[in-house]
Amino acid sequence: MSQAESIADRLPGASQNVTSLQAHILAEERRHPHASGTFSWILSALALSAKTIAALIRRARLEDVLGSMGSENVQGEEQQKLDVISNEVLLRCLGQRSGVAIVASEEDDEPTILRTETDGERRYCVLFDPLDGSSNLDVAGGVGTIFSILRHHPEAGSPETSILQAGTEQVAAGYILYGSSTVLVVTTGNGVQMFVLDPAIGSFLLVEEEVRIPARGETYSLNEGNRPGFPQGWQDYLAWAQANGYSGRYVGAMVADVHRTLLKGGVFMYPPTGKTPDGKLRLMYEANPMAMIVEQAGGKAFAGAAERILEVKPQTLHQRVPVLLGSVEEVDRVREFVA
């Protein structure tokens, strides 16, 4: 074997074709003969934002951008400096793409209207949670970015009406996990693909073309400290899971907890509590995109026992919803207890 060949053997994905996110997006575009490329540009802006945020997070302690801003977001939650910086990165990267009509962020009170022209060009609304699990930053824990893409309907009148679409209308959704590696998971309604950032070359490389969630998994993931406030059915499920040898796993960052559930199976929950009857997680920025990913991977996602998260009709941009998602068998079991 020549030296060149043995070096080539050590390249990422040496045993298969190396596919970058960019190449994947272009290949997807070719499958849709009428695609204008607009949508691809949006995904590439999200990838660019992800690389920027990943780099910022890695150096956060060194550059003294950890800790709180001393302000609260619209949800009344304390904002970390990096919440605000990540939000800015996404707004800038997406703002430059002509195909983005409106962006809405968990951190902002109101959506940002970028373009309202009705010139026939198809445009999109991009919703995001810029930095999910940001309270983990101080301890170098996993954090993430979650995004959801909807078609813009200029005829809807107000931007808010254009955005308030059920999760079933999402044209794409995904998340980036900034963990021990940076992972991008995305769906455009055609299965779920997973990419890992190769920091040496600055590209997201395809590592799994068709992610499937295991049908079962003996792990539950939730904030057990809230247990006394859960409605009885949820408490009964927990007692059942513990009596049956289930493990508990909880990072406290939805992206990290859902990612583990997606790959290893099990169930992730943020149930209602007496104090928060709709739980904590936000429908438009967290629950809908994660539900699309999980369903596209063959799992289930419910807002309690009866209603699919994706079918919840949003009333307001920042509304919350109880979340129950993961492996088919585990989600169904929780639903039996909760019903």
Name the β-bridge partners of 302: 308, 324
Q: Which is nearer to ligand AHG, 114 or 131 (CB)?
A: 131
- Min dist CB 132 to ligand AHG, Å, is 4
d(CA 53, CA 56): 5
For residues 194 and 184, the answer to whether their CB atoms sit within 8 Å is yes
3-state helix, strand, coil in the chain (%, to 5): 40, 25, 40
Residue number, 112 or 223, with CB nearest to ligand AHG: 223
Q: Does 28 bind Mn ion (CB under 5 A)?
A: no
- Distance between CA atoms of 170 and 320, rounded to whole angstroms? 18
Cα(146)–Cα(205) distance, rounded to whole angstroms?
19
Q: Identify what 280 binds: Mn ion, ligand AHG, none; CB under 5 to 8 Å per kind.
A: ligand AHG
Interaction partner, residue 295 (Mn ion, ligand AHG, none; CB < 5-8 Å by kind) = none
Q: Which one, 188 or 226, has the nearer CB to ligand AHG? A: 226
* Partner whose footprint covers residue 44, from ligand AHG, Mn ion, none (CB < 5 to 8 Å by kind): none
| Token pair in block for residue 135 | 């309270």
Nearer to ligand AHG, 76 or 157 (CB): 76
Query: Which residues of this protein are in contact with ligand AHG, per CB under 6 A?
Result: 77, 106, 129, 132-134, 223, 252-254, 280
Binding mask 122-141 for Mn ion (x = CB under 5 A): -------x-xx---------
Longest dimension (CA), the chain: 68
Q: How far is the CB of 253 from ligand AHG (least distance, A)?
A: 5
Nearer to Mn ion, 28 or 129 (CB): 129
Q: For residues 199 and 252, which CB has a smaller minimum distance to ligand AHG in the complex?
A: 252
Rounded Cα gap, residues 311 and 293, in angstroms: 14
Six token digits for residue 52: 């920027």
CB of 79 to Mn ion, least distance (A): 9
Please give the Cα distance from 45 to 92 (Å, whole number): 9
For residue 101, give the nearest of 146, 40, 152, 149 by alpha carbon: 152
**Cα(61)–Cα(52) distance, rounded to whole angstroms?**
16
Which residue type, as a one-letter code, is found at position 122? R
Cβ at position 253, least distance to Mn ion in Å: 8
252 binds, among Mn ion, ligand AHG, none (CB under 5 to 8 A by kind): ligand AHG
Residue whose Cβ sits closest to Mn ion? 132
Q: Using CB under 5 A as the criterion, which residues of the chain lie in contact with Mn ion when the complex forms? A: 129, 131-132
